[in-house]
Structure 1
Amino acid sequence: MNENDFLIVDNKEIPIEGEQNLLELIRKAKIDLPTFCYHSELSVYGACRLCMVYVEGMGLVPACSTPPSPSMNVKTNTEDIRKMRKIIVELLLANHSQSCPTCQKSTTCQLQALARRLGITEIRFKNQSKNIPVDDSSPSIVRDPNKCVLCGDCVRICSEVQSVGAIDFAHRGANTMVIPSFGKDLDKVECVNCGQCARICPTGALTPKSEVDEVWKVIHDPNKMVVAQIAPAVRVALGEIFGMEPGVTTTGQTAAALRAIGFNRVFDTSFTADLTVIEESNEFIKRIQKNEFIPQFTSCCPAWVKFVEQYYPEFVHNLSSCRSPQQMFGALSKEILAAQTGKKREDIVVVSIMPCTAKKFEAKRPEFIHDGVRDVDHVITTQELGRMIEEAGLNFRELDPESFNLPFGFKTGAGVIFGNSGGVSEAVLRYVTEKLTGEKRESYEFTSTRGENGIREIKISLAGKEFSLATVSGLGNARQVLEKIKSGQAFYDFVEVMACPGGCVGGAGQPVFTNPVVRQKRTKGIYENDRMLELHKSQDNPYINELYTSFLGEVGGHKAHELLHTGYKSRKRIADEGMSLSSSDGEQTIEVNVCFGTGCFLKGAQKLLRDILVHIDTEQLGDKVSVSASFCFEMCEKGPVIRVGDKVIEGCTLEKAALAIEEERQKVLGDKTVNSMQ
């Protein structure tokens, strides 16, 4: 196509400038064509059919999957198209739970919004919704299949962006569902609790698990001292719930709202982010000096930590031993406030306000529970805090700003930028450059760590040595980096990883958004926060320095290790954790075992398993072959992998599996019958 190419959209000429599909051009024409299943960061799926348009000479086509051609004449709003869209939405509503008023996604549900937009005031079809049990087993996410519209957004983001594949489509026709592997509960599969599935879900089928009721309960308990900590990314997103622009800082109003709700103290997690910088930077320097466990990986993102534990346990010791800022705050505040107030640890209730669903999982890790008392008692998301403010009847935008309580309310810009991808790396560089050179730097910004790319590599020379860093967001990108490190294709000294694209500002607990511009504005707001503050380096925080002098002792010392550090362990599933799918009735049995670990799952293990079961049925081998699925053969890069008897087949296809089954049958059973695949 040349620079003069254009097409016609509703009688307007629209230039074609590299757009991949008609939908992008139609939106360029300022027409908001409805979709459920189209997201620019995901593969094109084309399931919802809401974006159907009329193209002269072609008829009705899905705009999301139709490439543009010069001189196309596109109509987006004909009478037939409008009728079709209404019918599609009515059919979805007829197959949908009718609990809209009490649904957590009410007012942000795209199905609800589309029904209103299309003027649907009645549903002409009989209600076909089913009463499927709600899965609330996960500490982070609630899965309600009754509200699923089968758009596939959650399946694709989990697989394509996060490379986890914890959920997928199952069954056929009217029985199709999105479920975890083998129909297990979400907490029994390899979900890392990042919540990106809930962020992208257009309805209430996947939502962050609420702890609002529990928090109200402790607030109303006169025997409890309830303290709040607010994560950096919350301050640039909470206002969106109340009609403010993304990226607008609401720190003062948030502190005021929390006190009005009933919190006794209000602190800033950015304080312990500063503390994390001090501890993690010194840990990094020691590792470099000893040349051990390099690269050092950040450990402040719990979804990333769990990802390493599950899929790359060989790198567990590369994770920084530092607790996340959330968990540092929990341990420190309970220790210090108990001493100051005379209250028992269990009567000091720490509530975290986080942009992240994985923080709910992290707070319940056994490493952070002592004598039955959690360091962080409850974690609520930005969304949940918004609901509490609304429930309390507070006019958030009109609240007079208030300050955080000291000392845990004082922070530098280095602590605040933890909210963005690249922020931890930049904060560490602000410390390490002065520590290694022994010189104060007037400049404090390291803009090379910033940007929207999911993988960013940085080279920097310090004290005569060149350091290589990587900042990564999105677990699919993290997998790429880990594989390169494993294979020797890449070497880094320090790697920062955040599970959510863009970092915490794009966390699943933040106000719902579909336009990436929202995340960009939040990112900008974080850096503006940094620039507005008087101090920008963690080592300049006077309250951090006083904390070491009066309480912690030396950096990385005994007390610091007790309260600020931890360790992690392998969570990798092993091959004997299997599930039988087909049992033989014969005395002699051929055992077929399909690896269903995430690596193989993403390479097609589910389809291969289905094909093998069909093949066994077609060839009438049910009395000779038993099939099971297992986690994990420890051969993730060679998947899909199956085992037939004692033979392991890498990169397996149905043809390879059928041949291996036939060979095993001849060996074990002496059966010379040749199967139809040969």
Structure 2
Amino acid sequence: MVKLTIDGKLVEAPEGSTILEAAASVGINIPTLCYLKDLNEVGGCRVCVVEVEGAEQLVAACNNTVLEGMVVHTNSSKARSARKTNVQLLLSQHDSSCTSCVRSGNCTLQTVANDLGIYRLPYKKHVEHNSWDRSFPLIRDNEKCIRCLRCIQVCEKVQGLGVWDLTNRASHASVDVRGRKPITAVDCAACGQCITHCPVGALRERDDTDRVFDAIADPNKVVMFQVAPAVRTSWGEQLGLSHEEATVERLCAVLHEIGADYVFDTDFSADLTIMEEGSELLHRIAEHDAGGEDAPALPLMTSCCPGWVRYVKARYPQFVPQVSTSKSPQQMFGAMAKTHYAEVLGVDPKDVFCVSVMPCVAKKAEAALPTMVGDSGEPDVDVALTVREVVRMIRASHIDPVNLDDRELDRPLGFGTGAGVIFGTTGGVMEAALRSAYFLVTGKNPEPDAFKEVRGREGWRECTFDLNGRELRIAVCHGLANAGKLLDALDKDLTYYDFVEVMACPGGCVGGGGQPIHDGRELAGERARVLRSLDKGAQVRFSHENPDVLACYKDYLGEPLSEKAEHLLHTDHSAWYMP
């Protein structure tokens, strides 16, 4: 341990710790803008500068390590003055239209500027403008960029995409799409990780809330909402609600208050996905093991994450035939809502307006795919909203969720199992699929937690299970950089699997690019624990025991992989092009 003094406090910190970490360990908060632990520790913003006795110049706390006997002043007049000047310089090149910014009230630059008492600028304003395709799900406003480089580092190191790059240098430096190409030309996965790691409003999702408000106001539209599994862990975070208060039933009440005619649960269609994908897996394994010239290749790969599907299509097209043809739960729900449930209600599918509430930006791109259109010519899903957009709708509607009672989700598309709930976390799709695959092969349920080895935070996890005498090798992967490593290993025959789950975002949907932003805090693990707890306490924990799913097969679909199920619930990933 290293002993030092910070602001008059004696501190002991592990050798190799930064001044920033040592200060935080004793409750001293040093402001930062560009810092992301292990990803972006360049000290470029100079907001974390501190004074160290004996040093000629101020040093960045984020990338200078502690030394024995060091004496640090985090808020001396010299440090405070330099910090204020640095922030003023950043603001002189920043569009400060805070009242019209989606990050107003949740912007690190705004917070730091307020804390430093910056109310006017001594420098001339010079703001860079950029052109952007506003139809793309992800929007960049360069006039708000502070060149912290976080988006570059996250996209490169966590996602392995390299969409963003620094162009020019010094005062002319600018962050732009790699090679200054259009965003549609660089195979962006639209995962949204750059958005959630941006400290300001330079990156955001395309706002589709007006389309939803317009549909609600249209008396001829039947507006149906679906709520994704991971949303129930996060929607209340920026409304000051605890996990106990922010239940999916409370959100159901809120959405009805906004004007929804029906509120359903994507857990239902997650269970439907398991029935289709699980059956597809067993069918593929049987054909593969039988051999023959046309035997399908293994592994089968999950298809519920559109960021992952975009990635594999763009970077590893040779593996597209091994991606499950099952639509994602979002798209399966839309297909059922505009066919089976429209028939039940006696309404024209063209009058059904389907809105999904997702922890994801890529879901916007998925909903717009030309292959996700029903026989009526209408898209399965009309609008995909992020959690952040829904929070804005709640605020715009002047609704205080605390004043509403919980309301049960509508049936029959509103009942989900514990297996459906865990779709929102890494390993959840795999675990849910294995629970039902075991039943489909043996006719008996396994213990609900029999496949818990698939759980974990490792970027690439592999396990082997016995499936009625057949060894089943599986892998679970999250984060696209990890997915690239896995696919490289498969491509070089360095490893072998039967079934692979991939989620684009670290931690899965709980860490999705459409989730509420808490700068400097990663909440994927905490949200995942909530989902696991909900699964543990669920009335039903197997997708194949969902009574509403079973009724859908009995009354409408027939059986998994039937002709009607293939038509409505499956897709051809090779039939569309990026973006």
- TM bin (shorter chain): over 0.9
Structure 1 consecutive aligned stretches of length 4 or more whose deviation exceeds 6 Å: 570-573
Question: Quick check: 1:211–1:380 contact (8 Å CA) kept in 2?
Answer: yes
- Name 1:348's counterpart in structure 2: 352
AA of the residue aligned to 1:513:
H
Deviations along 1:293-329, whole A, 9 cap, x unmatched?
2111110000100100000000001111100000001
Using the size of structure 2 for normalisation, the TM-score is: 0.95
Secondary structure class of the residue paired with 2:80: helix
Q: Please show how residues 46-445 of structure 1 align to structure 2 within 5 Å.
A: 46-59=43-56, 60-130=58-128, 132-245=129-242, 249-291=246-288, 292-370=296-374, 372-444=377-449
Cα RMSD after superposing both structures: 1.8
AA of the residue aligned to 1:117:
D
- Name 1:657's counterpart in structure 2: none
Deviation of 1:570 (Å) = 8.5
Pair 1:494-2:480 in alignment: no
Partners of 2:523 and 2:242 lie apart in 1 by 9
- Name 1:524's counterpart in structure 2: 529
Question: Quick check: 1:313–1:571 contact (8 Å CA) kept in 2?
Answer: no
Deviation of 1:249 (Å) = 4.3
Deviation of 1:481 (Å) = 0.7
Question: Quick check: 1:50–1:85 contact (8 Å CA) kept in 2?
Answer: yes
Deviations along 1:458-511, whole A, 9 cap, x unmatched?
222221222221111100010111111111222111111111111101111111
Partners of 1:476 and 1:108 lie apart in 2 by 28
> Which one of the candidate residues 5, 10, 17 is aligned to 1:8?
5
Pair 1:511-2:509 in alignment: no
Secondary structure class of the residue paired with 1:368: coil
AA of the residue aligned to 1:200:
H
Secondary structure class of the residue paired with 2:465: strand
RCO higher in structure (CA 8 A, sep ≥6): 2
Partners of 1:552 and 1:464 lie apart in 2 by 31
- Name 1:468's counterpart in structure 2: 473
- Name 1:658's counterpart in structure 2: none
1:353–1:41 Cα change, 3 Å = farther
Farther off after superposition, 515-524 or 86-95: 515-524
Deviations along 1:580-609, whole A, 9 cap, x unmatched?
xxxxxxxxxxxxxxxxxxxxxxxxxxxxxx
Using the size of structure 1 for normalisation, the TM-score is: 0.81
Question: Quick check: 1:236–1:247 contact (8 Å CA) kept in 2?
Answer: no
Partners of 1:375 and 1:571 lie apart in 2 by 16
Pair 1:31-2:36 in alignment: no
> Which one of the candidate residues 453, 459, 479 is aligned to 1:454?
459
Aligned pair count reads 569
Deviation of 1:17 (Å) = 2.6
Question: Quick check: 2:371–2:575 contact (8 Å CA) kept in 1?
Answer: no
Deviations along 1:7-40, whole A, 9 cap, x unmatched?
3222323323355422222222222211111112
> Which one of the candidate residues 553, 558, 561 is aligned to 2:563?
558
Pair 1:546-2:551 in alignment: yes
Deviation of 1:57 (Å) = 2.8
Partners of 2:199 and 2:450 lie apart in 1 by 38
Secondary structure class of the residue paired with 2:463: strand
Question: Quick check: 2:36–2:520 contact (8 Å CA) kept in 1?
Answer: no
Partners of 1:143 and 1:234 lie apart in 2 by 24
1:476–1:100 Cα change, 3 Å = same
Percent identity (aligned):
40
Question: Quick check: 2:435–2:448 contact (8 Å CA) kept in 1?
Answer: no
Secondary structure class of the residue paired with 1:160: helix
Question: Quick check: 2:199–2:519 contact (8 Å CA) kept in 1?
Answer: no
Partners of 2:565 and 2:575 lie apart in 1 by 24
- The unaligned stretches of length 5 or more in structure 1 are 574-678
Secondary structure class of the residue paired with 1:366: coil
Deviation of 1:174 (Å) = 2.7
Deviation of 1:77 (Å) = 1.3
Question: Quick check: 1:136–1:143 contact (8 Å CA) kept in 2?
Answer: no
Deviations along 1:408-448, whole A, 9 cap, x unmatched?
00010000100101110110111122222332334445321
Deviations along 1:331-373, whole A, 9 cap, x unmatched?
1110023212332222110000000000000001111124642
Q: Which has the larger radius of gyration?
A: 1
Question: Quick check: 1:255–1:403 contact (8 Å CA) kept in 2?
Answer: yes
Partners of 1:338 and 1:215 lie apart in 2 by 19
Deviation of 1:72 (Å) = 2.2
Secondary structure class of the residue paired with 1:106: coil
Partners of 1:51 and 1:562 lie apart in 2 by 57
Deviation of 1:455 (Å) = 1.4
1:502–1:18 Cα change, 3 Å = farther
AA of the residue aligned to 2:342:
A
Partners of 1:408 and 1:515 lie apart in 2 by 37
1:164–1:17 Cα change, 3 Å = same
Partners of 2:250 and 2:150 lie apart in 1 by 35
